[in-house]
Structure 1
Amino acid sequence: MTTRNLLSDLPGDADAEAFERLAGTEAVRIERIVSRGHRSPASGWYEQAQAEWVALLQGEAMLVFEDGERLHLRVGDWVDIPARRRHRVEWTAADAASVWLAVHYPADD
């Protein structure tokens, strides 16, 4: 058994977001993501083969979808993003770590 606190031992300032696999199988992946003012590249979209359920545990962020929908996420907010729905992170809080809990799982095709 493994136990830890999701808000402890956060990586320090970094040029890139920190992704940490916490648990899972080949079909389901659970990870912690730590962002510090990071954003997606302006020229691209995330378009994943798996669905992604993500919750913001700390910080603040803005998700933008290709169809123009925008979600301003604050502590405790979560979203279930269907597979292949194009999206990106427009911004994350610059003055503190934004901590995400993400679950990637097979899409219902």
Structure 2
Amino acid sequence: MADVARGRLLPSSSTPDVGERVEEIVSVANVVVKQILSAEQDVPADYLQQWDELVVVLAGAAVLEIDGEHCDLRAGEWALLPARIPHRLVSTSSETNWLVVHVYEPGLR
């Protein structure tokens, strides 16, 4: 299998007791795929990113706030956050396991 990359995602049990663990899975051209393992948190974090971001909750749950509205995400659900859209991570349950895809504009990365 020439030029084929493969691997295994970390289990949710690899989540740290506090904060997040971020693992880059693959980076190709202007696309980066990461796995994020989040501990339980309820301290909001604000974001204003310069890239499109697809977030997929693989396990656990999270609450985002976009334009003042809560967006509840549970296992199997996803959201596409366009570049330059302010949003807030309101909370995550313990052992929340995310797959995140960042799509950068050419020359931004």
Instruction: Give TM-score, length-normalised by structure 2.
Output: 0.81
Q: CA deviation at 1:11?
A: 2.3
Structure 1 stretches of 4+ with a deviation exceeding 4 A read none
Q: Is contact 1:38-1:92 (8 Å) kept? A: yes
Aligned to 1:61: 62
Aligned to 1:105: 103
Asked if residue 3 in structure 1 is aligned to residue 7 in structure 2, the reply is yes
Q: CA deviation at 1:25?
A: 2.8
CA RMSD of aligned residues (A): 2.2
Looking at secondary structure, tell me which structure has more strand per residue: 2
Aligned to 2:21: 18
Q: Which SS does the other structure have where 1:84 is aligned?
A: coil
Identical counterparts, % of pairs: 33
Q: Which runs of 5+ in 1 are unaligned?
A: none
User: What pairs up with 1:73-92 in 2 under 5 angstroms?
Assistant: 73-92=73-92
Deviations 1:25-71 (A, max 9, x none): 351110000011135x54x5211100001100000110012x21210
AA matched with 1:38: Q
Instruction: Give TM-score, length-normalised by structure 1.
Output: 0.81
User: What pairs up with 1:33-72 in 2 under 5 angstroms?
Assistant: 33-39=36-42, 42=44, 45-65=46-66, 67-72=67-72
Count of aligned residue pairs for this structure pair: 102
Q: Which runs of 5+ in 2 are unaligned?
A: none
